[in-house]
Amino acid sequence: MSLRQYLTSRVFFVQILIAFAIIAVLGYLFMHWLTFTTDHGHEIEVPNLAKLTEEQVEEKLDELDLDYVLLDSVDYRSQFPKYSVVEQDPLPGTKVKVGRKIYIKINSSGFSSVKIPDLIEKTYREAVPTLKALGLEAGTITYIPNLGKDMVLEMRYKGRNLKVGDRVLKASKIDLVLGDGKATYVDDSQATDSLAVPATETPKDE
**How does residue 37 score in pLDDT terms, banded at 50, 70 and 90?**
low
pLDDT bucket at 77, cuts 50 / 70 / 90: confident
How many CA atoms, within 13 angstroms, populate the side-chain half-sphere of residue 126? 12
Distance, in Å, from the CA atom of 87 to the CA atom of 105, rounded to the nearest integer, reads 5
What is the DSSP track for 41-79? T-EEEPP--TT-BHHHHHHHHHHTT-EEEEEEEES--TT
Residue 111, pLDDT above cutoff 70: yes
pLDDT the model gives residue 162: 94
Mean pLDDT of 102-119: 91
Rounded distance between C-alpha atoms, residue 172 and residue 136, angstroms: 5
Integer Cα distance of 161 and 19 in angstroms: 91
- The angle at the Cα of 41, spanning 38 to 42, to the nearest 5 degrees, equals 80
Q: What is the pLDDT of residue 201?
A: 47
| Cα gap 158→172, rounded to integer Å | 10
Confidence of residue 110 (pLDDT cuts 50, 70, 90): confident
Distance CA 177, CA 162 (A): 11
Output the pLDDT for position 11.
74
Tell me if residue 113 falls in helix, strand or coil. strand
pLDDT tens figures, 97-109: 999 999 999 998 8
Average pLDDT, the chain: 83
pLDDT digits 0-9 by tens, 184-200: 554 444 444 444 444 44
pLDDT number for residue 41 = 56
pLDDT tens string 130-188: 999 998 999 999 999 999 999 999 999 988 999 999 999 888 999 999 999 986 554 44
**pLDDT value for 193:** 44
Cα four-point dihedral sign 149, 153, 156, 160: negative
Q: What is the pLDDT of residue 192?
A: 43
**Residue 104 CB neighbour total at 10 angstroms:** 22
Q: What is the pLDDT of residue 5?
A: 67
